[in-house]
Every structure is written in structure tokens, then in C-alpha cells.
A and B are shown apart, each in its own frame.
Chain A
Amino acid sequence: MDWLESITRDYATNERFNLSVSGGNPILRYSLVGSYYGEQGIIDRDKSQDWSSTMRLQRYNMRSNVDIDLTETTLFRVNVGGYLQDDRRPPQSIDHLFNMAFETPPYVHPEQYSSGEVPVTPERSNPWALATQTGYQRGSSSRLETLFEIEQELDFILQGLETRFKFSFDRYSANSVTRSKSPDYYMPAIGRTDDGELDLTIYQYGQQFLDHSTGSEWGDRSVYVEGSAMYQRNFGLHNVEGLFLYNQRHYDNGDMLPYRNQGIAGRASYGYANRYIAEFNFGYNGSENFAEGRRFGFFPSIAVGWVMSEEEFMYPLSSTLSNLKFKASHGLVGNDDIGGRRFAYITTIGETGGYNWGVNADYHRAGRWEGDYGVPNLTWETVAKTNVGIEIELWHSINIQADYFQEQRRDIFMQRQTIPSSTGFITSPWANYGKVDNQGVDISLDGNRRFSDDFSISVRGTFTYAVNEIVEQDEPSTIVGTHRSSTGHPVGQLFGLVAEGLFTEDDFIDVDNGILHPDIPDHTFGPVRPGDIKYKDVNEDGVITDLDRTAIGGTVDPQIVYGFGANMQYKNFDFGFFFQGNARTDRIIREGSSYLIPGAGGGALGNFYSNVDDRWTPENPNQDVFWPRLADYVHSNNTQASTWWLRDMSLLRLKNVEIGYNIPEEILDRAGSKSARIFIRGENLLTFTDFDLWDPEVGTNHGFRYPIMKSYAFGVNVTF
């Protein structure tokens, strides 16, 4: 039984319609966009049921933007948008379905017997039945986004002064209904009875009808207010600009108290003859997370620029080097997001297990104890950012931008790592502790060239390379400076054991009892036999333990991200594509799931993948295999995070490709249309990667996730 095949369909469809109208007169302009998006998911359904559990999503979007000139100097803008959405899905989480389909071995039982009974291994699940026999969940949600804005030119007070006032109100609400049932489950058949019927016993009684439970309605709303004043004026060759801005945000999602932020920001800049530019920015922000007195942070930054191509001595080159600019900036940015913990200066009361007293054990009291310890002197985490860059434009058609950046993150929020549990703190206290440096380059290139009226090409590419390093963090003094320390490594550095290959018979003095040669370090994760992973004794203490874990590979987050693409137009045809890729990204696969290893769950868990033959066996004692010796239990020695399971997850993907054809005007005129274009578009059609067990982009160590879809679309754009 291929469980993945069993719960999924080969393809799913989606459809999208857009309609936009715009127009107006000198004092009133409007645009109206309506769209519909419909999608079906790839989770399969059972057609014999009169309900469907296939994933389905329908979304109706509407947006209207209206600009009104109230007076000659006053602009009033109203944008209202939102959507209504209905969806349907199986009652289980999709990740859970994939998890089950990935972990259940193919031989346990079929999805359903020909006589209709649904089998299941006790305490396990039948992935097909979970996906198709347990009902469905229907959800409905809506979002409303509004923006009101007034822009007032104040030239009558001061030439070049303008104010703006923004108010926006967003609201989201959702509800759901679950109609679920469980089928009658039978134990897997153990044979046939004398009359040829399957010998089945029932395991669990289900129900024939769909239950009904209404999920509680939930939602959120946010109110954003912003007021700003801007000033911009040229005095001959001097250009002066200024901005002062106040904003506040109120976000209420039904939590204890609404979330609130407020801040002011300002900018002053001076330019001379479009050649020299200097700018000063600041932000002064307040956060509810900190105690009074530590609540506000001041974050200034400065920037300078020199447009060398505007210098007179460069004019002779201006047809080739049409723009050359050097720039540099340095500034501070703050972060008040402390990982979900709010009001970090207040000690909270937590809940623990309770206790029963009384001769009948009926005097119950719920347990309470200290929650998060309040730390009164917590404050903003800061990042000092330095940037130097160059902008080059050649022949008015090729643009190159290159930046080098450096960031120094300080006072990082973290929970203390070195307070031992023997102190009795329920959760480790928070602190501003730790330093991380980050540096890298950012390069982008784009070019447009029109070779003739019929033929033009544009290309673009981006490339980012960034490396960070933990300079200081809260690590126990016994770890600092050893192979186990993550100081000096990037954030998220992978750690694990170093696999030296698989044990051979020669490594043992007694194979049957698993007794290793005296000069081979003892492996303490469990008994070992030939074919099991052999680790390196990194700390040279003669035994392999968790203390031998060291930095292996890189990080999950890619250090290089790049993309490139091109668009071409020839007469009425156009063609475009875009590739996206990342590199220097690693994962230790299998971490987080012991049952990824074939058969590891005592026969009832641990799927067999197509590469299951690529494994060590006594008959094929090969070192160059994917799987070590397989066992029908969780074999702790082989499930350790180690270089054995380390994989390079680099990826290059043809993100989209599109061919279009513009219908000639002479045909359109007759239909009363201004322009019309038909196109075929494909997404994610090609993927180049060394890792082929699942799509690296799903972003897990085990693949139990709804996969990335290849998609093909056919469409028409018509303008009247």
C-alpha cells in the first residue's frame, strides 16, 4: 500500500478571475478591483460518501480606491478592501495526515477490504481512513481593511510643507463547523474463514452519522493612526527635506489586553545639486513589553551619498556611465518582540498539577505556582546596521546595485541558559543577553534593451550572501571554548555526532553479543552490531556520548539566496521565466521523527521508501548506503543526529515561466476591446537539487508536510 498515493490525488485545479475598473475626472478618481480565487487541494476523497472532504477554498476579493480633491490643496483618499472566504478540509490537520502516510508501513493492511471493512492496527491509524472517512471541517472567514487618508498642502503657511493624516481599521473574523465521524475499525484480517470470507474482528465501533460541533468564532481587529508633516523645497541647487511622523497601533485578538505600540519618527535631509546627499533619521518607539522608564527606545541613523556622475568632470562619460552613486549609512534599529512573552516586567502566575485532599479524595484544588519571572530592567534589543553601496547605470539600460552590509545585534532577548534547574525557577528568566554579528553582500542587476520595435529583452538577477556569527551568548562556562560551544558559530548551527561509517564485523571481538574491540570507543546509545553507525570520539574520553556532539554542516537557513530571470518580447509574442535558488543550507534529516527509519516502530510504524534497498545488510555490507542496518525498534544508536543524516538542501527552481500572445488590434477593434492577451504560465516546473526524498522547500527534517505544487495555468487578460 502506498499511503501517500492513497491519500492524495495526482493533480488539483485552481481558478482565478480578476475584474478591475478605473476612471474618474480631475477631482475624483476611482478604481475598483474584484477577484475570485478557487482552489482544490490534493487530499483525496471517497466518492462513495455523499459528502466530500477534499480541500476546497473559495475567496472573493473586493477593493475600491477613491481619491477626491476636496480643495485644490486637499486630497481625501478612501481605500476599502476585503475578502470573504469559504474553505473545507478534513478534520485532521494536513500535516498530521502526511505524517501518518509517511510513517505507516506499506504492509500493515490495505486501505479498505474489498468487502468494505476499514482495517487499522490498534493504537495506530489508517491514513486513508483518516483522510476520507472521518468527515470534514468547513470554515468561513472574512477580512475588512480600510484606510482613510487626508493630505493637506500647506504652501500658504510655508512653501513646501504638507501634512498627512492616516487612519486605518482592519478586522478579521472566522468561524468553523466540524462534521466528523469515525468509521468502524476492524483488526487487520488474520486469515479466511472456512467459507472463504475474511476472518475479521471489530476493533473499535464507529458511528454512521456525522457529528456536529461549531467552533467558536474568533478574529482580530487593529486600529492604526498616523499623522505626519513633510517639508520639501529647493533653494537653487540646495534641496531640503524634512519629515516628522507619529503613529500608534492597537491590535486586539481577544488576548488578555490589546497589543499596543507607539512611536515617533523623523527625517531631515539635505542635497546639493543632486550630487551630495546627507540624511538623518530617527525613531523613538515605545513598547508595552517593558517597565515604565525602559519603555521607549531612541534609534537614530545617518546616511550620506555622492552621485559622482553628476560631477562636471564626469559629463564626457555620461552616455556610457549614465549613473554612478556611492552611498553609506549607519544606524540603530530596535526590536521589542520577546517571543510571545508580554509585559515581561510582571511576574505571572502559572498553572501546575493540582492535588486532592479529603477522606474521599474529593477536596480538589487546582495547582498554581510561579509563571514567568518578571524582569524589571528588560529593554529594547538593538541592531547597529552599517551599509556601504554603489549604484551603477550603464548606457541608460543596465543597472547594477551592490551593497555590503554589517549588522551588530546586541542585548538579544533570550531565556537564561545557565541558570540551573536546581534553583527551582519554573521557566528560565528572560534577559537582554547576547551578541550576534551579521555581514554580507547584496547585489542586484537589471537591464532593459529594445533592439527594434518588434524585439526587446529585459533581464534581472539578485544575489544575497549573508553570514552571521554568535559573538556572545549565555553558555555554561564548562561548554565555552569547547567543541560543544555555539559561540563563534552562526545562529542555528547544526550540532551532531561525527559518523565515521558503519561498523564492520572486524570491529567486534564478539559479534553476537555486540562486544567491541577494546580500542574502539564504547557506544553508549544502545547495543551496536555490524551495520550500525560508528561515531568519532570527539572529546577523546573513550566513550561516545552526547558530549561528542559538535558543529556539523552549516545552518538550515540558507546563506546564499539568488534569483534570475528574463522577459522577451517579439512582435505579439512574449516569453518570460524566473529561477530562484538557495545554497549553503543543510539539514539533519530524520530529526524529530524516529519513525522515518523503515520498520522502526515495531512493525506498525516506519515506512518503506523507494530507496529502502539502499541499505546495509549482512549480504551487502556496503558502507556507501543511505540506510544503516535496519531494526524493528527505535535504534537509538542510529537515530542520533549525526553527519550520517546531514544533507545539503541547496535548490534551484524554475519558479515560473510564461508565454503570452497579444491579439492583434485589428481583431480587437471589431470586438470593442483595447487589448487582449492570452497566456500559459507554469510554476515550479523544474527543480534541481541533490536531495530527492522530498521537496527541500517544504522546510522540514522529515517531509511530513503538504508539498509544493507544480502548476500550469491558462489565462486571458482583456482591457476594454
Chain B
Amino acid sequence: MSLRQIELEVLRYDPEQDDEPRFQKYSVPCQEEWVVLDALNYVKDNLDGSLSYRWSCHMAVCGSCGMMIDGEPTLSCKAFLRDYGSKIRVEPLANFPIERDLVVVLDDFMSKLKRVKPYLIPKQHKPIADGEYRQTPRQLKLYKQYTLCINCTLCYAACPQFALIPDFIGPAALALAHRYNLDSRDGGRAERQEEVASHEGIWECSFVGACSEVCPKSVDPAGAIQQMKIASTVDWYLERLMPWRNK
């Protein structure tokens, strides 16, 4: 194991004391196989206990350690130091208000997530005695990729549309709506369409595709949104050309 001296340039901000965010430099003795999160933990444990950031699992599952690393939205537990130079700039996720240091305020995302009803809304309720809802592997495959979202919000930090239009429901929430729409056990699409097919839903997306590029779980939110645009366009025409289909 070889040691490597890394200079971390970390954005610090305490809204109660600071007028505006500032950068603070830390010189960190790092192991070659460390990730940026390890370096931050070293800072917290040895150099500056006041540094605030979120993390939990250290294995790209919990989705809480997302930050801008050299300007790219990245999970800091997945950002290996060997892929970076000797100077690394660490900032909180872009497009979100800063709570403190590298911690961002997620309330807006949480309320949007809730609005798209990202849970199963069964077609018809059946008593437990009638047994489970069955699903074939083919039906599972249709939506499985979208279940891998860990709500890390890297896609929101990458999305230029979300930066311009804060009301945009955004990639992760829309991809999760799509995940349930595609589920053979689900019957909630019409309810979700009220949000998804609105102006603030899929139609604010201009298909830049940055969301899918930064996703640490290889979910493809951009693809999900395009598929929903096609389905919603078909809906739009059917609602007008065949009004008797509307309930």
C-alpha cells in the first residue's frame, strides 16, 4: 500500500455564520486505493471535525454521499483517488440549496417524488387469501433497471433543465414513475399521468441525457422520459380522436 498526498479543496458553508460559501484546503495522506469519501473521513477524524457531509454505506447502495467532485456529480464512495489528480475539488451537489458544507437540502426532491406516487397501486385489490400477484421474468425485465435508482439525486445535479426550471419534476422521480407504470401488477398510470404529463413533468425535459450519464446505478432516466413522452403523445391523440375511450 502506497501513500499519496492529496490536496482536497472542499466547499465550506455554514449559513448561520458565513455570508457566502468558501473553499478550504486540506492536505490529506491517502492510501492509493481510497475513494474521495475515505479522504473526507480522514479530514473529519483527524484534521477538522466541523466538516459536514452525508454518507452511510460506503458501497454505492444508500445514495447519500453524492457530491460534485471536480465539477462532476459523483458518489464520493465510488470516486477512486487513482482516477483523479493530486488536487481534488469537492462541492455539494449542484442545483440544490446548501444546508451546510457538503450537505444539501432535499425537501424539494422528496415532495416531487411523493407527487408521482412511486409505489404499487394495484389494478384491483384482492384479499391475501387469494395469493400473491404473479409476474413472469419477461414482465419483470421490462421495469427492473428502473428499480435500481437509489435516490442519490446526482441526475438532478447534472440536469441543465432542472437548473433552469426548478419546478421540473426531474429525472429520478420521473424514472420511478415509469418503473411503476411498467409494472404488470400496477394500475396507477392514469393517476401518475396527472403529474407526469403536465408541463412540469416530462415536457420540461429537452433530452440532454446528462442524467443517464452520471447515474451510478446505470438507470436510464432520459430513456424513461422519452418513452413516457411517446406514450403521453399517443394518449393525447387518443383522448381527442376517440373521446368515447375516456372514462
- A pairs with B: no
